Amino acid sequence: MSSGDPNCGLCIAQFQERWSSLPEIKDHAEDGCPYCANMLEGLLYLIPDLESRLGQDASLRFERRCKITVYADPNGSLKDSCPNEKLKLQYRWFMVDDQQSYEPEGNTASENSFVNAKRWIQDCLANHKLCGNDEPFVLPTRILDLGEANEGESLLGIRLIEPLGKSGRYVSLSHSWGGELPLSTTAATLDQHKAGIPLSSLPATFRDACHITRRLGLRYLWIDSLCIIQDSPKDWELEASQMASIYRNSWLNVYATASSSPSSGIFRSRQAVWIAADDPEDETLNILFPEAAKLRQDLRLSLRFASVHPDFSPYADPGRQKDALPLLTRAWAYQERLLAPRVLHFGPQELFWECMQNLDCDCGGIKLRPEHMGTYASRNTTAELPPKVSHYAALHVGISQKGKISEDKRRKKLLARWQEMVEEYTQRSLTFSADRLSAFSGVAAEMVDALGMQYRAGQWEENLPEALLYERSDTTTMARLAINDLRPAPSWSWASPDAPVCFLVPLSGPSGWDNPVVHAEVLEMRCVPCGTDERGQVNRNDSYIILSAQLLKASLCFSEDPYLVPNKPWTDIRDAVAKGAVGPQKRYDLVHLYMYQRFAELHHLEMFLDGRTLTHPAPSVEALSLMERSFMLVVMMRAKQIQQEKRALREAYLKMKEKMKSLSTMLAGLESMEEAKKRGVEM
């Protein structure tokens, strides 16, 4: 057999997709094909029970980008219990002297992983202007001191210190609390932690972060639960307001991407194998096919179970990777990832690199270089770029291009990026909904500097009233938001509903609105922060907007078939608004923002009635924007009317519940009588 048999499925699979089978690979391996020999050995090493598990005639699909899917034999032992079982793997061929290859080691704590990490860091420090250089910054209020760097990887003394303005390089940790209360600094333990923290007392994720910091040659590490006094609202608020500088000034952010809790640790074992083919038992094959013999000596196979790469696309659904990459679903961690100049992700099988100008990973499966980004200033949208790259590209244009492009264009690009970030951020989860604004205050601080606009509870005052046009983008997986005092923000803020949101007047992309005609005016706006952080939690009851707008009387109808809904005045709303429909001054509450005359099906009722509240003493809001073919409205209801309807519904429910209880008692009595009659008992 030659070095590449035209009849061999594996040889062909290098150039096109191809189906094969386990018996076929066995046959070609016995015939001396080095590719099949390596692949068979690798499969049996990773999956020793391959034949018993998937059947002797398991089929293999060799896909492009070096992926394999192994399907169970439809006639195998699992055909009844698990007929659709399949395994996904990744492979890579290389020669023994290939400089781009390396032998995968046991886990993500391996020396090779850290060689890659150090290479990414040095390349970023040397070549990426946006990411910043190696200069030290002023250390945060408190930080963990791991000891002198010349002590090697030893972690004999860990102390919480207050550096008091001292400068240095430090690592920040992003991790998920996962419902656990990790080791924390409180007023009672502050002095104890200053005296020293035993390494053994740290949860696994914190211990691993200490080892990573030391192996990278740094002395200082910032971990939120240990560097903020957790039972001091004043200290928590103060440090939360400094999140932008804490993460932005960190030399590196270690992202525990695959960890779901402090106890689960950062490092993961790789399920991979590195194979060199054995010589065939029949020596004549080496004599007859010397090229194949040479290939067998030099050919290597890297085979592993398919690695889950983070989906860095701007429209990625973080929930799809929740099991493998849980930290990507957390809202606080999303902000930390955007703020830090360099992020080192520790995934299930490999390391991922993310900075302002580059993406990379151990296996080389994801790459984005500066030359791939093009000129950001000329882009209509950031949708083609990963979130972190988009964020810093927008900030760079917003600051460096000031005075070089029109102020309107500069601000529009920044506001477009703001909309994208809000939509990405609200897809992620918070343990406490009250943190909705606080967990985004660091990003807001950066945007305040770039925009030079007034930030009010998630909204930009100069971008009102158009910014009021947002809606819940997910009404099936989120619980209906109750109208109560637990909402984290006033209804005119996107932070009010505890659900993903989207903006109805996009400022970028193919559906971007260039010059919407606005039929509303902000007369007054008041936003009262709960504490010293003006970008954090606000006093919802004391924050309001007064609007002056056209008013149109409308009916809200619901139908399973929108085409059967009779024509109502609101179906001709565009003409009515154009004619200047007005109404009396009332006190109203905001019910929903909707567009394109959409009708709601009964099971999508919450799309229209999602419980957000806008209280103000001015005229009700109507058409905020009107275009040739599309219009958008804010639908209002009287605040008093909503409360009355809620009270009436509650009373009706309680009455119905009481009637059902009485009916149940009556039915139980009738059943007892019937049973007694059957037994012949005299009643």
pLDDT at 37 over 50: yes
From the list 25, 35, 49, 42, the residue with the least C-alpha distance to 104 is 42
* Boundary of a domain, candidates 322, 351, 372: 372
Strand order through the sheet with 342-346: 159-161, 143-145, 220-222, 170-174, 252-255, 342-346, 351-355, 358-361
> What confidence category does residue 10 fall into, taking pLDDT thresholds of 50, 70 and 90?
low
- If you compute the radius of gyration of the chain from its CA atoms, what whole number of angstroms results? 31
pLDDT value of position 184: 95
From the list 575, 552, 518, 572, the residue with the least C-alpha distance to 622 is 552
Q: Do 298 and 95 form a contact (C-beta atoms < 8 A)?
A: yes
pLDDT at 475 over 60: no
Q: What is the mean pLDDT of residues 597-605?
A: 29
Helix axes 331-339, 441-451, angle to 10 degrees: 40
Which of 417-421, 514-518, 641-645 has maximum average pLDDT? 417-421
Cα–Cα distance, 46 to 449 (Å, whole number): 53
Q: What is the mean pLDDT of residues 92-112?
A: 67
Count of structural domains within the chain: 3
Cα–Cα distance, 134 to 130 (Å, whole number): 12
Buried b (16+ CB within 10 A) or exposed e, 287-310: eebeebbebbeebbbbbbbebbbb
- Would strands 517-518 and 623-626 be described as parallel, antiparallel, or unpaired? antiparallel
Does one domain contain both 381 and 365?
no
Tokens encoding 553: 């009387």
Cα 532 to chain centroid, rounded: 28
Q: Do 134 and 233 form a contact (C-beta atoms < 8 A)?
A: no
**Main-chain dihedrals φ then ψ at residue 282, nearest 5 degrees:** -90, 105
Cα 32 to chain centroid, rounded: 48
Does one domain contain both 597 and 461?
yes
pLDDT at 510 over 50: no
Q: Is residue 103 part of a domain?
A: yes
From the list 602, 607, 492, the residue with the least C-alpha distance to 558 is 602
Q: Do 72 and 54 form a contact (C-beta atoms < 8 A)?
A: yes
pLDDT at 350 over 50: yes
Q: Exposed, middle or buried: residue 560 (CB in 10 Å: 0-12, 13-18, 19+)?
A: exposed
pLDDT value of position 278: 58
pLDDT value of position 277: 55
Does one domain contain both 127 and 251?
yes
Q: Is residue 473 part of a domain?
A: yes
Does one domain contain both 632 and 594?
yes
Cα–Cα distance, 352 to 359 (Å, whole number): 8
Q: Is residue 1 part of a domain?
A: no
Which of 69-73, 440-444, 573-577 has maximum average pLDDT? 440-444
> What confidence category does residue 683 fall into, taking pLDDT thresholds of 50, 70 and 90?
very low
From the list 272, 330, 285, 313, the residue with the least C-alpha distance to 108 is 272
pLDDT value of position 580: 40
Tokens encoding 625: 């924007």
- Would strands 86-95 and 299-305 be described as parallel, antiparallel, or unpaired? antiparallel
Q: What is the pTM of this model?
A: 0.73
Q: What is the mean pLDDT of residues 415-431?
A: 90
The SS3 assignment for 90 reads strand
Average pLDDT taken over every residue of the chain: 73
Single-letter residue type at 677? K
Cα–Cα distance, 384 to 315 (Å, whole number): 10
pLDDT at 494 over 50: yes
Element at 396 (helix H, strand E): helix 387-400
Cα–Cα distance, 477 to 164 (Å, whole number): 46
Does one domain contain both 43 and 161?
no
pLDDT value of position 386: 72
Which of 72-81, 134-143, 301-310 has maximum average pLDDT? 134-143
Strand partners, 631: 626
pLDDT at 380 over 80: no
pLDDT value of position 292: 55
**Main-chain dihedrals φ then ψ at residue 637, nearest 5 degrees:** -135, 155
Kindly report the number of other CB atoms within 10 A of residue 264's CB atom. 19
Tokens encoding 214: 């030391």
Q: Is residue 682 part of a domain?
A: no
Does one domain contain both 204 and 277?
no
Q: Exposed, middle or buried: residue 324 (CB in 10 Å: 0-12, 13-18, 19+)?
A: middle
Residue 591 per-residue DSSP state:
E
**CA angle, residues 30, 33, 39, in degrees to nearest 5:** 85
From the list 552, 642, 634, the residue with the least C-alpha distance to 594 is 634
Q: What is the pLDDT of residues 221-245, one digit of tens each?
A: 999 999 999 999 999 989 988 999 9
Sign for the CA dihedral angle at 119, 124, 127, 133 comes to negative
Q: Do 657 and 610 form a contact (C-beta atoms < 8 A)?
A: no
Does one domain contain both 636 and 501?
yes
The answer for residues whose C-beta is within 8 angstroms of residue 41's C-beta and 6 or more apart is: 275, 277, 278
pLDDT value of position 78: 42
DSSP secondary structure, 536-578, as one string: S-B-GGG-EEEEEE--------B-SSGGGSPP-GGGGHHHHHH
Does one domain contain both 169 and 238?
yes
pLDDT value of position 394: 73
Tokens encoding 535: 């970008």
pLDDT > 70 fraction of the chain, expressed in percent and rounded: 62
Q: Is residue 668 part of a domain?
A: no
Cα dihedral value 118, 123, 124, 130, nearest 10 = 170
Tokens encoding 494: 């996107």
Q: What is the pLDDT of residues 636-678, one digit of tens each?
A: 545 455 455 556 656 666 676 677 777 777 777 777 777 776 6
Q: Could you tell me which residue, 630 or 391, shows the higher pLDDT?
A: 391
Q: Do 37 and 299 form a contact (C-beta atoms < 8 A)?
A: no
- Would strands 588-595 and 18-21 be described as parallel, antiparallel, or unpaired? unpaired
Cis peptide before 386 (omega within 30 of 0): no
Does one domain contain both 386 and 479?
yes
Q: What is the pLDDT of residues 247-264, one digit of tens each?
A: 999 999 999 999 999 999
DSSP secondary structure, 275-337, as one string: EEPPPPS-THHHHH-HHHHHHHHHEEEEEEEPP-----STT--GGGGTTT-GGGGBHHHHHHH
Tokens encoding 113: 């992983």
pLDDT value of position 653: 61
* Boundary of a domain, candidates 333, 355, 372: 372
Q: Do 426 and 477 form a contact (C-beta atoms < 8 A)?
A: no
* CA separation, residue 657 to residues 480, 645, 648, 669 (Å): 22, 18, 14, 18
Beta strands in 158-235, from DSSP E residues, in sequence order: 159-161, 167-168, 170-174, 220-222
**Main-chain dihedrals φ then ψ at residue 670, nearest 5 degrees:** -65, -40
Q: Could you tell me which residue, 598 or 157, shows the higher pLDDT?
A: 157
Does one domain contain both 255 and 300?
no
The region, left, alpha or beta by phi > 0 then psi within -120 to 50, assigned to residue 497 is: beta
Cα 497 to chain centroid, rounded: 18
> What confidence category does residue 203 fall into, taking pLDDT thresholds of 50, 70 and 90?
very high
Q: Is residue 677 part of a domain?
A: no
Provide the residue count of the chain. Answer: 683
Element at 137 (helix H, strand E): strand 137-138
Q: Do 627 and 513 form a contact (C-beta atoms < 8 A)?
A: yes
pLDDT at 46 over 60: yes
pLDDT value of position 296: 58
Range of the domain at 245: 111-269+309-372
Q: Is residue 662 part of a domain?
A: no
Does one domain contain both 467 and 496?
yes
* Boundary of a domain, candidates 343, 372, 401: 372
> What confidence category does residue 401 fall into, taking pLDDT thresholds of 50, 70 and 90?
low
Q: What is the mean pLDDT of residues 16-20?
A: 70
Does one domain contain both 156 and 295?
no
Q: Is residue 300 part of a domain?
A: yes
Q: What is the pLDDT of residues 547-595, one digit of tens each?
A: 777 665 554 444 444 444 444 433 333 443 344 433 333 333 333 333 3
Kindly report the number of other CB atoms within 10 A of residue 232's CB atom. 15
